[in-house]
Chains A and B, each alone.
Chain A
Amino acid sequence: MVSNPSLTEDSTFTPDIPTEAVVKATDDIYIELTPHDLDSRALTTFVRSPSAGATVLFIGTTRDSFDNLPVSSLAYTSYTPLAKNTLFNIATTILNKHKCTKIAISHKLGECPIGEESIVIAVSAPHRKAAWLAGEEALEMTKDKAEIWKLERFEGGEGVWRANRDGIMGTKVPKEEEKQLPKV
């Protein structure tokens, strides 16, 4: 991230979109927050294991509407170091609870064009039932707990809107703050 040394103290911080993927991984957990395209194939390969008979892959893509309003573009901001830890804790919980083999969660940061992947979760388990349940629960926990916020721009509308929880209209981001946010 480029910081402008001429800015005053109050303005030196901008919501952090890392220039490279931020990763936390062990042999059976892979967590990634990345400004790059998500790689579902790489995540699927990571969770592959001789002891797993089932792999479930979830791909979340950005939708072109919210409550019937056309969305023209989207971006994600995050408290990256904390979100990375939170995702890792979710993965650990899921792995233990559903007796899974491996799990990988990757979330997009910054601009995410409509129709592209914003989140990918791959989970493997000895049997399919556990993998299905684990995949669903990992997604719900991520949406509920990970410190990642969605920004939306509506077609024909002015400015950027910060999404609230599912199903609730977000709030408009003021012009001043908008300048510092990732392009949506």
Chain B
Amino acid sequence: MASASKGPANHFTILYFAAASTFTGKTTEHLPAPVRVRDLFTKLDGTYPGMKEKVLGSCAVTVNLEYVDLDDDDASGAGQEIKAGDEVAIIPPE
């Protein structure tokens, strides 16, 4: 199933689908928590240069199966904090 192993303590699981998987060469990995959603794209772009422009710009993000409103900067949107054990997914257009 989509829930990968919980991974190391103080980490969250990120799932890459379709074009995001193609770009990173991975389907999942564990990243250190906490991190705010708005900082996640910057962080990913640092690890995978060009990802923000080429892939993430057209992607949606879910945290524990709930879509994050990336246009909204408060705690229910891009300001939301991703915690250890969370399952985050990068969702390209279908």
Contact = CB atoms under 8 A, between A and B. Distances in A.
Contacts of B28: 10, 12-13
Given A9-B30, A79-B17, A173-B22, A164 B1 contact: no
Nearest to B8: A9
A85 B67 CA distance: 12
Interface string A151-168: 000000000001011000
A177 B22 contact: yes
A10 B1 CA distance: 16
Interface residues on B, range: 20 to 34
B53 interface: no
Contact of A82 (B4, B7, B30, B65): B65
A70 interface: no
Prevailing SS type, chain B contact patch:
loop
B82 to A, nearest CB: 16
Interface residues of A, number: 32
Nearest to A172: B22
B5 A149 contact: no
B2 to A, nearest CB: 5
Contacts of B62: 79, 82
B57 interface: no
Contacts of A176: 25
B27 A164 contact: no
Contacts of A12: 4-5, 28
Interface string B72-92: 000000000000000001011
Contact of A149 (B2, B18, B26, B30): B18
